[in-house]
Amino acid sequence: MLTKTSSLSRLVAELKKLPGVGERTALRLAFHLLKSPQNLTALADALLEVRSRVRACSTCFAITEDDPCSICSGNRDAGTICVVENSQDLMALERSNAWHGVYHVLEGAISPLAGVGPSDLRIAALLERVGRGGVSEVVIATNFTVEGEATALYLTKALKPLNVKVTRLAHGIPLGSDIEFVDAATVQWALQGRNEL
Amino acid sequence: MLTKTSSLSRLVAELKKLPGVGERTALRLAFHLLKSPQNLTALADALLEVRSRVRACSTCFAITEDDPCSICSGNRDAGTICVVENSQDLMALERSNAWHGVYHVLEGAISPLAGVGPSDLRIAALLERVGRGGVSEVVIATNFTVEGEATALYLTKALKPLNVKVTRLAHGIPLGSDIEFVDAATVQWALQGRNEL
């Protein structure tokens, strides 16, 4: 039997650091990997490859393998910048196929409780990017959480003096929702933002 | 932004092979690892270490780093063998601190539906181990599932001619249970196996 100090215990300890993975799940994952050595090897290789190849784009700070990233170097409208908290949000916007501009990844949101201030984010780089000119609109697509809203407020105040149009993603009822089950604050936003047909 | 053929996509594909991990969870895990490069490196190292160091014990087929394993080479009663389906079950029995004999890991259970027959398991090795003599009792601790019960039945028939005592883990009401919520079959087993106080 394996002892507590074995390599399996070390693997279980590492797997436990993943979000949502506890002792039992980690053990289950470890045994699953032990049973299929080629999957285990492929996972280790994929991890090492990601470590060596993935970095942040020097322009928009999205994660990328090539610098500048495929969006910054692609055939996109560099005059409209969509500001997101992280690369996952960027991917969600890309999946919508509705944005043809470029992005700017803040790498977080302002959160005094977590000790994250404006200087910890890529806000200076955004202001410099907009300040260089040629930018007509900045769409703020931070999350609709306390931190995201605080960041949006800060960005709006910082961007306004640069003479650029600042917009925010629309609030409202999500597609496919039953209004009965939508929270009151969202219904309030949806009413205030109602559109003429 | 990362393209579909990137190293991140490869990592997500590998993570998705883990049990209970879908596309969204895999992406979340990948981004979590990207944010903490030392965790990523540690996980990759732990995987490679497990691959190179963990093997099956040549006596009992439990996973181990040293052959024979610490139980087979330790101060345990080699005359009583507890037969389990896999190393996870062995670990559960070890956690109970109630077994002082050795183990035999079958590496599965008989399952005609899944195409697993007796010859696919470590049954021949068990019979040979018992046949060499010096074994007074074999405790069958396969799971209480259709496959586990079928395996127990097969093992009983195969072991009986070797003149060894064959026992099975007790059925009954689990500790801390409210009898009201225990399934009928378990209650039936508990009644049939009732003990005098």
- A32: closest CA among B146, A24, B67, B23? A24
Name which of A6, A30, A42 is nearest B14 (Cβ-Cβ).
Answer: A42
State how far the Cα of B13 lies from the Cα of A54, in Å rounded to an integer.
16
Same domain membership, residue B84 and residue B158: yes
Restricting to A residues 109-138, those with a Cβ less than 8 Å away from any Cβ of B are none
Q: How many structural domains is chain A composed of?
A: 2
Say if CB A147 and CB A110 are below 8 A apart: yes
CATH code (residue B22): 1.10.8.420
Same domain membership, residue B41 and residue B106: no
Name A95's Cβ contacts closer than 8 Å, sequence gap at least 6.
none
**Chunked mean pLDDT (size 10), chain B, 197 residues:** 72 93 92 90 93 92 90 93 93 88 95 94 96 93 92 95 91 84 85 80
Tokens of B135: 């074994």
pLDDT at residue A195, rounded to an integer: 78
Say if CB B109 and CB B149 are below 8 A apart: no
Same domain membership, residue B86 and residue B39: no
The pair phi, psi for residue B20, each rounded to 5°, is: 80, 5
Beta-sheet pairing, B63-64 with B101-105: unpaired
* pLDDT tier, A190 (very low <50, low <70, confident <90, very high otherwise): confident
The partner residues of A140 in beta bridges, in order of sequence, read A83, A168
- Min Cα distance A188 → chain B (Å) is 30
Same domain membership, residue B83 and residue B38: no
Question: Per-residue pLDDT tens for A29-88?
Answer: 999 998 888 999 999 999 999 999 999 999 999 999 988 899 999 999 999 999 999 998
Same domain membership, residue B108 and residue B156: yes
pLDDT at residue A75, rounded to an integer: 92
Q: Is residue A23 part of a domain?
A: yes
Name which of B2, B65, B90 is nearest A64 (Cβ-Cβ).
Answer: B2
Residue that has been written with the tokens 């060499």 in this structure: B132
Whether residue A176 is predicted with pLDDT greater than 90 in this model: the reply is no
Name which of A19, A36, A87 is nearest B29 (Cβ-Cβ).
Answer: A19
What value does the mean pLDDT of chain A take?
Answer: 90
Q: Is residue A1 part of a domain?
A: no
pTM for the full predicted model = 0.75
Question: Per-residue pLDDT tens for A113-139?
Answer: 999 999 999 999 999 999 999 999 999
Residues in A touching B30 (Cβ below 8 Å): 50
Whether residue A1 is predicted with pLDDT greater than 60 in this model: the reply is no
Q: Is residue B88 part of a domain?
A: yes
pLDDT at residue B5, rounded to an integer: 57
* pLDDT tier, A189 (very low <50, low <70, confident <90, very high otherwise): confident
Which H helix or E strand runs over B78?
A: strand B77-84
Name A41's Cβ contacts closer than 8 Å, sequence gap at least 6.
B47, B48, B51
Q: Is residue B92 part of a domain?
A: yes
Q: Is residue B87 part of a domain?
A: yes
Residues in A touching B7 (Cβ below 8 Å): 46, 49-50, 53-54, 65
- B168: closest CA among B195, B141, B130? B141
Domain range for A161 is 76-168
Which 3 state secondary structure label does DSSP give B25?
A: helix
Restricting to B residues 53-112, those with a Cβ less than 8 Å away from any Cβ of A are 53-54, 62-65, 69-71, 86-88, 90-91, 94, 103
B119: number of Cβ within 10 Å: 7
Q: Is residue B115 part of a domain?
A: yes
Name which of A34, A39, A103 is nearest B63 (Cβ-Cβ).
Answer: A34
Q: CA separation (Å) from A25 to A37, B41, B62? A: 19, 20, 20
The ipTM value here is 0.76
Same domain membership, residue A80 and residue A20: no
Same domain membership, residue A125 and residue A49: no
Q: Is residue A182 part of a domain?
A: no
One-letter amino acid for residue B77 of the chain:
D
State how far the Cα of A52 lies from the Cα of B40, in Å rounded to an integer.
11
CATH code (residue B150): 3.40.1360.10
